[in-house]
Structure 1
């Protein structure tokens, strides 16, 4: 990726889950935190919000893992998006 089209730099740290990073789980929800602008990428599993399952990776690695997240990286702080299955359209909500 030579042309990075997103406002946040490719090496910005984002929060995600062990299941996404280590097991290849699909990304079910994304949030752009209002308080600090942090990004969070969660899988659909029941333990997704458990801090023991948290991992920190680069934004670029998330886009490379699932290019469809590029469709929602314009979420404003406080924005959220989710979907019902891998490859399904994102539903944006605030």
Structure 2
């Protein structure tokens, strides 16, 4: 029983260390925001709106997960080397 708990603790520690090591950087978030903007709207991509949005975004990291915000809205979330850009809808 003690051996199983040690293995579980080591596996949990390994996942935690991997999450810290693979946490996406601010540059990865900004590149993904630019890419997603260009994919969703070629005109916005051509005008550089994705680059502008990425430039004004603020990067936040919690060690194992990171995110970017602009105008009090979460633009992207990242963990384990992957970044996901939210589908933003206009404010009502």
**Does the alignment reach a TM-score above 0.5?**
no
Relative to its length, the structure with more helix (as a share) is 2
Identify the structure with bigger relative contact order (alpha carbons < 8 Å, sequence gap 6+).
1
TM-score (norm 1): 0.26
